[in-house]
Structure 1
C-alpha cells in the first residue's frame, strides 16, 4: 500500500510538472546577464530578447549582475526558484574557467545550473590602437619581445576567456605583458580607446571602432577566419599552430527547472538564431550564431573545462 502511494505521488508530480510546462510562461521572464552592460554577453542577451518575447508572449527582461568573473550573476540564478522565470546569459567561462581559478565558489556551475541553449560562438579579436599600435602580428610580437613586461592588455576580468586568450598567446610567443582586469569587456574597451592599455582580445564589441579606423585588428584567436573579416589571419596562420581561444555564450537555468521548459526554451532560442534579423545582429558583433541541443551545450562546456584548465594550471592563474 505504501509503495502504491509512492507511485501515485510520483505520477502526480510528473503530471503536475508537465501541466506547468504547458502553461509556461504566464508572467515576465528575467534573463540575468552576469557581466556589465556593453559586453558580449549583454549584447547577445539583447539580440534574442525581442524574438523570445514574440515567441513566448511575455516580456523578457534583461538584468545585469556583473562581478567576480560572472559568479555574482551565476549565483543569483542558481539560487532562484526553478520555475522557468529566471535564466542566465553567460559566457561559457563561468562553467569552464571559474571552478579552476576561484578557490571557493558559493555554488557549483556544473551542478547548480542547467545548460539550456548555446547562443553564439564568440571569437576573440586581437586589437590595438591605430595611432600607436603595430601594423601586423609579426610587428606586434617583435614589440612585445623588445619591451618585456612593459605592455598592458585588458580583459573582462581575471581568468575570463579574453584573459586566457592573452595568456595563451604570450605562452606560444614567449612574450610577457601586464594583464589589467576590468568588470566587463565594455570598460576594457574604453580603456584601450583612451590609451590606458596597449591591446585587447576583444569579443566583438570593438568592431565599430575597427571599421571607423580607431583600432586595428591584427589577428583572430580562432581555428578559422571570421566570416566578417575574411582578410584578417588567424593566430594559427600567423604561426601559433592549433591556437583556439573561442568561447561559447549561452543560456542556463536553475537546477530543477522542468525539462519541458528547458526543451521549449531551447527550441525557441534555436528558432530565433535561424531568423535572418537575429543572425545579422549577432554577426555584426563579430560573433557567430551557434545553435545546439541542451546536451551538446553541456558537452561543449565539459570539453572547454578540460581545455582551459590546462592553461590555467600552466600559468597558475587565480582569481583576484
Structure 2
C-alpha cells in the first residue's frame, strides 16, 4: 500500500473513531436526561421529614405541621415533623445541612434567624447560604415596636427624638443577645442615628413581662403581642416593615413612620439540603405554593400571626443573600456575638 493510501486509511479510521465517540457521548447524554426526569416523576417514593428548629407547640411548629398535612395529601406519602431545637436553631440547621440531598429532608425556619446565624456564630458546621437549597418563602409578618401605655412616646418619631436628646438613656428588652428583634432594633437605631441600652432576657416571655411591668422603655416583638395591644396593655408605635400589615391594622409602617429606608420583615421559609435536584425542588415548591393557597391553611396561619407570601426558589435565594449581608453588617458594626 502506498504512503498516500496509508494516510487516507488512517484519516478514515480517525473519522470513524470520532463518530463512535460522538455517538457514545450522545447516547450517554440521552440516557442521563430521562434519569433526572424519572427521578422527579418518581419523587416522592417514601415518607418525607420536615425539621423544625424549635420545640413543639410554637407558631413555627404549628405552621410546619399544617404544611405537612397538605404535602402528604399532594404527594401521597406521609410527611412527618421532627423538632430539633437548641443553639439558636443551629442544631436543626446542621442536621438538615448534613442530610442526603434527595428531597426527603426539608427545613422550616425563619430566614432572618437563619441568615443572622452566619455572622453570630464563629464555628458553624454549615454555611447558611451554600449548604441549603432554597425551596420558597412561606409567610411574611412584621415585628412591632411597642411601649408601655404610660410611655410619653406616642409615635416612633417621638421615641427616636427622646433617644436623640438623651443618648443611651432609653432601654429596650429583647428575647436574647443576637435574637432577631435585638438585631432589628440595632438596625433601626443606626438608621436613625440614635443609641439605646439593650436589656437581654432569656426568651420572649421574660422580656414581655419586663415591658408590661414598665421596667424597660420599649421592645420590638413579633405579632404574638397583638392581644396585649388590643387589650391596651401595650401601645404599638410602628411596624418594622415598609408596608402595612393586615395582621396589625392601623399601625404605621416604617415608611409611614418616617423611616422609608428600613424594611425588616419576619416570616418563614422552606429549605432543603444543598444539592437537592432542581426538578425535585421545583416539585416541592409547586406543592407548597398550592397548599398555602388553601383557605383553611391561610386561616390557620393567620391565627399564628402569619400572612401567606409564596414565591420561587430563586426569589428566596436572592433574599437570603441580601439578609445574610444585612445582618452580617450589623453584627460586624456592633460586635454582637453568641460564642
Once residues 23 and 122 of structure 2 are traced to their aligned partners in structure 1, the CA distance between those partners, rounded to angstroms, is 46
Q: Which residue of 1 is the match for residue 224 of structure 2?
A: 205
Equivalent positions of 1:36-55 (< 5 A) are: 36-37=55-56, 39-55=58-74
Indicate yes or no: 2:208 matched with 1:188.
no
> If the length of structure 1 is used for normalisation, what is the TM-score?
0.83
2:307 corresponds, among 270, 284, 288, to 288
Once residues 239 and 151 of structure 2 are traced to their aligned partners in structure 1, the CA distance between those partners, rounded to angstroms, is 20
Alignment check: 8 A CA contact 2:51 2:108 kept: yes
> What residue ranges of structure 2 are gaps of 5+ in the alignment?
1-19
Alignment check: 8 A CA contact 1:189 1:206 kept: no
Q: Which residue of 1 is the match for residue 197 of structure 2?
A: 177
Q: Which residue of 2 is the match for residue 268 of structure 1?
A: 287
Alignment check: 8 A CA contact 2:243 2:254 kept: no
SS at the partner of 1:239? coil
Measured at CA, do residues 70 and 6 of structure 1 come closer, stay the same or move farther in structure 2, by a change above 3 Å?
A: farther
Once residues 27 and 130 of structure 2 are traced to their aligned partners in structure 1, the CA distance between those partners, rounded to angstroms, is 28
Displacement of 1:47 in angstroms is 3.9
Displacement of 1:19 in angstroms is 2.6
SS at the partner of 1:233? coil
Once residues 234 and 204 of structure 2 are traced to their aligned partners in structure 1, the CA distance between those partners, rounded to angstroms, is 13
Indicate yes or no: 2:256 matched with 1:256.
no
Q: Which residue of 2 is the match for residue 221 of structure 1?
A: 240
> If the length of structure 2 is used for normalisation, what is the TM-score?
0.79
Of 62-71 and 267-276, deviating more is 62-71
Q: Which residue of 2 is the match for residue 298 of structure 1?
A: 317
SS at the partner of 1:269? helix
Measured at CA, do residues 66 and 132 of structure 1 come closer, stay the same or move farther in structure 2, by a change above 3 Å?
A: farther
Alignment check: 8 A CA contact 1:93 1:160 kept: no
Displacement of 1:137 in angstroms is 3.3
Alignment check: 8 A CA contact 1:40 1:204 kept: no
Displacement of 1:188 in angstroms is 0.9
Q: Which residue of 1 is the match for residue 110 of structure 2?
A: 91
- Please report the RMSD computed on the Cα atoms of aligned residues, expressed in angstroms: 3.1
Measured at CA, do residues 163 and 44 of structure 1 come closer, stay the same or move farther in structure 2, by a change above 3 Å?
A: farther
Equivalent positions of 1:120-135 (< 5 A) are: 120-130=139-149, 135=154
1:129-158 C-alpha deviation (Å, 9 max, x unpaired): 557796543554466666935634113x54
Measured at CA, do residues 141 and 232 of structure 1 come closer, stay the same or move farther in structure 2, by a change above 3 Å?
A: same
Indicate yes or no: 2:120 matched with 1:106.
no
Displacement of 1:10 in angstroms is 6.5
Displacement of 1:81 in angstroms is 1.7
Of 208-217 and 111-120, deviating more is 208-217
